[in-house]
Chain A
Amino acid sequence: MSFPQVESRSARRTLTIATRILLALKLDGPLLIGLAMVACYGLIVLYSASGQNSDMILRTLLRMGLGAAAMVAVAQLRPNTLRNAAPWLYAGGVLLLLVVDASGYIGKGAQRWLDLGFIRFQPSEIMKIAVPMLVAWYLQERPLPLGLGTLAVTAAIILVPVGLTAIQPDLGTALLILIGGALVVLMAGVPLLVLAALALVGMSSAWFGWTLLHDYQRQRVFTFIDPQNDPLGAGYHIIQSQIAIGSGGVFGKGWMNGSQSQLEYLPERHTDFIFAVIGEEFGLLGMLVLVMLYLFVVGRALYLATQMQDTFARLLGSSLALTFFVYVFINTGMVCGLLPVVGVPLPLVSYGGTSMVTLLAGFGILMALYSHRKLVGS
């Protein structure tokens, strides 16, 4: 009878040790656990979705390691450092975007990458963090609710990198940058009237943007509206992905047993459409489990944001948390046919890209802001 007591005591001791380590590393335990669970789930799915490609798993593990390192590193930064770095990071990012756009113009066609030799690197990813940072930095001193002049400056801050990314053309990332920035503004508080006006401007600019879209991008929107219209062309992605999800049923066909994904009917199965693989192989339950994990991460992140005491931290923290959810929603919504197909990966699960590092770095910022809050407060 004494055995369990010994066990629980030792367990408590390990727990306290872990807490101390986390504390020392400025990390948030629950958030870390949530992220780790999503990542592990992602690895399991990826192994199946990649067709048992252990090379891909290895590379993903590498990226996760890189991301985790970035997260831990960023978490050590003081909020002040982050605050001061915001303009520089933004400026650097815009510069890199210009370089990429220029080389893309020379090389003709889509150009999103900057090849540093050892690693290929997507400057637009930086903007996913740099834009909210700068907006939060800019808005922290402004009295709320925001005035029109302030909004105009904010809009400029957001739209410059969005435009530069959109012309690459990388509509998905541009959209995400836009949303990341917009969320900061919304969390800062916008009068209803201004919000309505913005909506109007947004819609008219959407119409204007439509005229600027590439054919394939327009086709994506058409296809979203009626996928059966062109089943083997642009509608193929959506149809096949819905077949995959729908045929999975409640419990799924089993790991590595999804015929849609294993027989390559499902396009982009290990990248943008990996959520459909989950739906096919693990069913409704498997998808809901992942959605719950995501909600837990977002919830925890939002909770951390509410615990922060200065405006910069709160705005940045909450917008990062919500942006993460928006990523999740855009991808899952696209895969199950709620939203048009835009190239947005499923955070922490889809294979490839720089997004793993950026996302984890973003959570590093959240943790940094949270763990250093007392320093600010005292």
Chain B
Amino acid sequence: MAGPVSIKNPQREQHAFQRRIVLAVSLVAVAAVVLAGRLFLLQVLRHDYYLQLSQGNRARLEPIPANRGLILDRNGKVLAENQAAYQLELIREQVPDLATTLRGLAQLQLIPADEVDDIRRLVRARRGFEAVPIRLRMSEEEIARFAVHRHQFPGVDIRTRLTRFYPNGDLAVHALGYVAAIGEADLPRIDRSAYAGTTLIGKLGVESAREKELHGTNGFREVLVNAQGRSVQAQGGLAPDLRSRAPKAGADLILSLDLVAQQAAEQALRGRRGVVVALDPANGDVLVLASQPGFDPGLFGRGLTRAEYRNLETDIDRPLFNRALRGTYPPGSTVKPVIALAGLHNGTVSPESSRFCSGEYYLPGSSKPFREGRSGRHGAVNLEDAIAVSCDVYFYGLANQLGVDNIAEFLAPFGYGKPTGIDIAGEQSGILPSREWKKKRFKRRQDQVWFPGETVNFGIGQGYMTVTPMQQAHMVATVASRGRSFKPRLVTGMRNAETGQATVVAPQALPTVEGIPEADWNHVFNGMMGTMTRGTGRGVGNGAAYSIAGKTGTAQVFSVGANEKYVEKNVSERLRDHSWFIAFAPVEKPRIALVVLVENGGFGASAAGPIARKVLDAYLLPQLVAAAPAVTAAPQAKP
């Protein structure tokens, strides 16, 4: 044992010190246990909770938008596709001097000089590492110009992104619709989480009606982000397990439209306000849906300025208005074939018996004349003649004999007074008048009474009756297929964009118009063929390679007094009659049922007729050539 070093009691002191050491050691042990307990709590008991928090910290979900489905015509020609658009993006922290850079870009006319300050503010508002688009939709020429000077602009680059592209411009825009930025109004109808990363949504037409199929399923990838929110490839040896899901492209839509016929229709309509609708009577396929004027659907995807949109909206020709589905017009004489059928069906007329047309019709006991439209007097006409020459007097009498209720009842199965059920939205119902309808329509007792004179006008498609061109086309198709009818449809099939597997959308049959004997159909067909050969549509059918059944129509916009005569040049353009033309061909085996309407076009045969002929030719001639004996066609086809 060591000797004493001080006068104090070293033995006792050592002892006391050792006691304190023991105390200290136990305190250290307690502290260590408390620490270990805390760590156990964090790392074992609350591990899951903290693990979740750390997951949320490090990964950011980045959506990968799915490619929107293509839209193709019946022959596989592209109507809408996705195209890379080039935009200029700037990453602030990589730019040495923002002001100089923007000024330089403005000098190259890549950004508008007067927007430099706005852009700078925009860029400053975003985080330094974010790529901010400073110019959308660059032209090829602009891209080239930037490429030459690229080295002067570190931190500025061109990025591609997919936008909707309509290769045919405004062709069939009212059938296709367009895509535009998702707006407030769209939010209720979409699942927001499914649309994360999607910027555009279908509006109108099939783009809207088939939004769900076209959109596809967006994918996502988890991106590693550091505390500043910057996405990083990898940090340190950190090799995290990041989830991702590939997007599933939307389905390609195969439409019933025939690009060639559609082009012919729009070409023929160009410069006018009008509609061409053509259906395949065999299945309801919409072969042509043209409403002029249209608009460039690409405008919306690009981002329309408010002024541009206002211009479109307030344009007197109403380019945004889908006349084919939403325009309601008096059918005029184009309703006569069905009125004739009604007469035959009810036994009101026999096909052979003639009526005398003096140019005027008087209701029994009335001296108020109902005038013949334009062709003066027809003399003795039978049913087929009456259709061919569009004799108003014949149908005045017929309608009066039938009575409004019989007419309304007979017309209803042809699709009047209710939407046809086409697979895009916005369709109007038109009006199929009847006594009952009038009672509901008017409030005042004296207005609710149906007058016999109204029935007379009904017989030639004037008065209360209105139809949409689509309804009228549906009627023509129903007549052409002798009573069988289908819901008009634009989408005939869908194709999986990845596997190429196609699914067919079956045509939807509507109730057949029953109880009309073949002979009755034949009489009406004969009358309509007569229109083309000897009647009001004579010029239209000249030299056609196929047989056409047609009917002209002129719908009054402006009421002419009973004692006045409608003189086209005296009436301002907007008040002129609408010009109708309906037709189907070939008569023996109808492949196309067609309606042409030219607003304020005047007499049916002169404005609408030639357009109808062009469309018929465009659709039928290629088929006839293909079906013709190969003797003449084959050697030329093979080079």
Contacts and interface: CB of A to CB of B under 8 A. Distances in A.
A314 B5 CA distance: 13
B212 interface: no
B28 A279 contact: no
A51 interface: yes
B43 A248 contact: yes
B145 interface: no
Nearest to B18: A306
Contacts of B235: 51, 262-264
Interface string B1-16: 0110110101001101
B228 interface: yes
Interface stretch (B30-38, B308-316, B457-465): B30-38
A336 B58 contact: no
Nearest to A244: B54
Contact of A262 (B16, B24, B238): B238
Contacts of B50: 242-243, 245-247
A314 to B, nearest CB: 6
Contacts of A302: 21, 24-25
Nearest to A285: B43
Interface stretch (A63-71, A112-120, A197-205, A251-259): A251-259
Interface in A285-301: 287-288, 291, 295, 298-299
Contact of B44 (A249, A257, A309): A249
A298 B54 contact: no
Contact of A309 (B2, B34, B35, B236): B2
B39 A287 contact: yes
A284 B42 CA distance: 9
A240 B227 CA distance: 10
Interface in A139-195: 141, 143-144, 186-187, 189
Contacts of A186: 20
A114 B246 CA distance: 59
Interface in B367-419: none
Given A287-B39, A299-B25, A51 B54 contact: no
Interface string B429-466: 00000000000000000000000000000000000000
B236 A48 contact: yes
Nearest to A315: B17
B77 interface: no
Most interface-central of A247, A264, A287, A322 (chain B CB within 10 A) = A247
B35 A332 contact: yes
Contacts of A244: 54
A333 B238 contact: no
Contacts of A111: none
Given A259-B58, A310-B5, A325-B31, A187 B17 contact: yes
A376 interface: yes
B206 interface: no
Nearest to A314: B17
Nearest to A294: B32
B124 interface: no
A269 to B, nearest CB: 10
Given A263-B235, A264-B227, A291-B32, A141 B17 contact: no
B442 to A, nearest CB: 68
Interface in A51-94: 51-52
B162 to A, nearest CB: 31
A143 B36 CA distance: 39
A144 B239 contact: no
Contact of A259 (B16, B20, B54): B54
Contacts of A283: 43
Nearest to B4: A309
Nearest to B51: A247
B57 A338 contact: no
Contact of B21 (A284, A306, A311): A306
A189 B20 contact: yes
B32 A295 contact: yes
Interface string A333-377: 100111000000000000000000000000000000000000011
B29 to A, nearest CB: 8
A263 B28 contact: no
A337 B42 CA distance: 10
Contacts of B51: 246-247, 249
B335 interface: no
Interface size class of A (residues with CB under 8 A): 35 or more
Contacts of B28: 295, 298, 322, 325
Interface residues of B, number: 49
Contact of B39 (A255, A279, A322): A279
A311 B39 contact: no
A256 B105 CA distance: 43
Nearest to A48: B236
A187 B236 contact: no
A250 interface: yes
B236 A284 contact: no
A249 B43 contact: yes
Most interface-central of B32, B49, B224, B240 (chain A CB within 10 A) = B32
B225 interface: yes
Contacts of A376: 2, 5
A265 interface: yes
A255 B17 CA distance: 43
B42 A264 contact: no
A245 B6 contact: no
B192 interface: no
Contact of A263 (B3, B232, B237): B232
Given A265-B226, A288-B39, A325-B31, A246 B5 contact: no
Contacts of A27: none
A377 B3 contact: yes
A41 interface: no
B152 to A, nearest CB: 33
Contacts of A377: 2-3
B44 A336 contact: no
Contacts of B35: 291, 329, 332-333, 336, 338
B227 A263 contact: yes
Contacts of B58: 259-260, 263, 265
A257 to B, nearest CB: 5
B149 interface: no
A264 B232 CA distance: 11
Given A247-B53, A311-B6, A336-B38, A259 B238 contact: yes
B161 interface: no
Nearest to A283: B43
A318 interface: yes
A46 interface: no
A135 interface: no
Contacts of A133: none
Most interface-central of A144, A246, A250 (chain B CB within 10 A) = A246
A129 interface: no
B238 A337 contact: no
A332 B38 CA distance: 10
Given A247-B54, A250-B44, A263-B232, A144 B32 contact: no
26 contacts: A52-B236, A187-B21, A189-B16, A243-B54, A246-B42, A246-B46, A246-B47, A246-B53, A247-B51, A247-B54, A249-B47, A257-B237, A260-B57, A263-B226, A263-B238, A264-B227, A264-B235, A265-B54, A291-B36, A299-B25, A314-B17, A325-B28, A333-B35, A336-B38, A336-B42, A338-B35
Given A52-B236, A291-B36, 20 more contacts: A187-B24, A246-B47, A250-B43, A250-B44, A259-B54, A259-B55, A260-B58, A262-B235, A262-B236, A263-B57, A284-B40, A288-B36, A291-B35, A295-B32, A299-B25, A305-B21, A309-B10, A310-B6, A325-B28, A329-B35
4 closest A-B pairs by CB: A246-B50, A256-B237, A377-B2, A247-B54
